[in-house]
Amino acid sequence: MTLDVAWTVDWVRRTAQVVLENRDYLVELDRQIGDGDHGENLKRGFTAVIAKLDGATEPPGQPADVLKTVATTLMSTVGGAAGPLYGTAYLRAAKVTAVDVLDGPGVLAMLEAGLEGIVARGKAQPGEKTMVDAWTPAVNAAQQAVADGASAEQVLAAAATAAEEGAVATDPLVATKGRASYLGERSAGHRDPGAASSAMVIRAAADAAAAADGAA
């Protein structure tokens, strides 16, 4: 199975929907260890993304076109750290998806590029209680899935499950990056909001792939 631009658009729409549905949850997570605006920022950003896609005079031709639109829109509309971090992730992903369809290795390259963008922008490493703690296991799982000969849908499913497990695993960590690091030991016992939203984004990609497979 391969994934095309229609899948990419569906992924973005599903992301916007899950962000809207979990706005209050993400706000509460961020309120506990940050400044409480993560959910609202992402809602505003992805609402603007959908408006940009809906208002386009020409449909996107490749997955890269969609991801670049997401990147530039988030960077211009989302405050705090989320805008630059997610924006850079989508921008890096766009650079490796300038093709008509993505297979398993193509999906892996996209996820790897996204993680590289987040690390480059945020300078975080695994274990520091950030979104990297969801993206790193997602990429590792995708790498293993590709090595096993998995389809694009299976690669994303593996990545999504690993991202969700990674987000949960941030609960006991002590934050050493970002605003949460100001709390020191008091940051332990709370889930990182960036890791939580990252797991939602990657799960949305997997759900869109499953829907595309079902419609094929």
The domains of the chain, with CATH numbers, are 5-215 (1.25.40.340)
Tokens for 176, please give them.
């050493």
pLDDT bin (cut points 50, 70, 90) of residue 182 is: confident
Q: Is residue 45 within 8 Å of residue 23, measured between CB atoms? A: no
- In eight-state DSSP terms, residue 100 is S
**pLDDT (0 to 100) of residue 215:** 66
The residue written with tokens 């940051």 in the block is 187
The whole-number average pLDDT for the span 133-150 is: 98
Q: What is the pTM of this model?
A: 0.96
73-107 pLDDT, tens digit each: 999 999 788 999 999 999 999 999 999 999 999 99
Check pLDDT > 60 for residue 178.
Answer: yes
Of 153, 158, 171, 156, nearest to 213 by C-alpha is 153
Q: Is the pLDDT of residue 125 over 80?
A: yes
Lowest mean pLDDT among 65-74, 106-115, 207-216: 207-216
Provide the 3-class DSSP secondary structure of residue 64: helix
The average pLDDT across 119-147 equals: 97
Report the C-alpha gap between 119 and 124 in whole angstroms.
6
| Tokens (6 digits) for 165 | 């497990």
Stretch 158-163: mean pLDDT, rounded? 98
Mean pLDDT calculated for residue range 103-118: 98
pLDDT at 216 over 60: no
Q: Which residues contact 189 (CB under 8 A, 6 or more apart)?
A: 171, 172
Percent of the chain residues topping a pLDDT of 70: 98
Residue 22 CB neighbour total at 10 angstroms: 18
Instruction: Please spell the DSSP secondary structure of 132-198, one letter per residue.
Output: HHHHHHHHHHHHHHHHTT--HHHHHHHHHHHHHHHHHTTTTPPP-STGGGGGGGGGTTS--HHHHHH
Q: Mean pLDDT in the chain?
A: 95
